[in-house]
Structure 1
């Protein structure tokens, strides 16, 4: 079971996650893909990574914009799993040519 991060830990780690912001007990980021199919491919890659981690984000896709929201619901807040998955999402978005909308 993952340990819930403190506010200080969250803020420090968000400093390394460009485009990610905190809202309450979750972090989120939106990425604009070059086209719709690239956005769908990003979702597929993130879904595979999330399944491997057994840690699943909320995902919203609107044409070329894909928004990811992360929280560890079982812990009632943010854990290291959220931060790790956010890094993977950012790396995959960059690999697919998707840019942060922040």
Structure 2
């Protein structure tokens, strides 16, 4: 149990500063995402890797992956917020009409 806890602490220590910086630099994340919720999700997601696999990921690569995940999370609910008229415009644009 101690090993799992310390592995989680290591993940938090790796992920937290990256998420803090990305949130600081991106208004979309600030508006659409709950930072603590995202940190928890990322820790759980990256917790599926072994400690060795995590060590093999460079900070630059980890930042890139986290940025992509946060962007996907931020825009995934955007279509749900559109009015029926906006959805019709979106659908027409996607279909090339």
Q: TM-score, normalised by structure 1?
A: 0.31
Higher-Rg structure is: 2
User: Larger % of helix: which?
Assistant: 2
Q: Which has the higher strand share?
A: 1
By relative contact order (CA 8 Å, sep 6+), the higher-ranking structure is 1
